[in-house]
Amino acid sequence: MDVDLPTRTQLRAGDRVAFGVLFDAFAGAVHRYAMRWTGDRSAAEDVVSLTFLEAWRLHEKLLPEGGSVLPWLLGIATNVLRNTGRSARRHREALLRMPVPPPEPDFADELVDRVHDAARLAAAQRAVGRLRRAEREVVLLCVWSGLDYAGAAEALGVPVGTVRSRLSRAREKLRKLVAADPELIPSRQTATGGRAFAARSIEKG
């Protein structure tokens, strides 16, 4: 059964029930966005929690007029991901200074049914990861999260023309990367699927 989404007036007023409905409606979209950014399910779940906590904290700053609030939520998620990315880099640098732990048991056989999808996603993430941050953000918002130019512009707080130009540059760079660098293809067995997956994602923008 469809549930009516809360109005901006309800959200701006700090209506707790409205925020519960908002979470039910858009937590999945925020999680998919964060998952494609991080490639880590646990990290994506943390981003969802932080995003809705920030949305609650910032509810009075939500504009009273407009359409779907998904761009607003993904804009908050983008800022959360930027901040967690910096923290993650500091964490990785700290780990590099620690002794190497003993090898863990290999549980790869238990994940055979997920290998292809995971490899294709990893291949696309490697390609997107080589873009400048601003270009990477518009790819994730427009191509993988389905926002239009206006929605991505709202999420990032930039003009629509800026989104268009960043996405155009990103698409051209991705075409060249996928064509030139075999390391972006996950494996020999899944190369065709990985290239097609990346190409389809690039062209959607």
This prediction's pTM: 0.63
DSSP 103: P
- The radius of gyration of the chain from alpha carbons, rounded to an integer in Å, stands at 19
pLDDT digits (tens, 9 = 90+) for 2-39: 468 999 999 999 999 999 999 999 999 999 999 988 88
Which residue intervals of 58-132 are DSSP H helices?
A: 70-96, 115-129
Query: Tokens standing for 157?
Result: 């707080």
**Which of the two residues, 96 and 184, has the higher pLDDT score?**
184
pLDDT digits (tens, 9 = 90+) for 40-68: 888 899 999 999 999 999 999 999 998 89
The residue type at 135: E
Closest to 11 in 3D by CA, of 22, 25, 26: 22
The answer to whether the CB of 178 falls within 8 A of the CB of 198 is yes
DSSP 143: I
CA distance 163 to 199: 20
**Which of the two residues, 147 and 181, has the higher pLDDT score?**
147
CA distance 129 to 127: 5
Query: Tokens standing for 31?
Result: 């999680």
**pLDDT at site 58:** 93
CA distance 68 to 59: 15
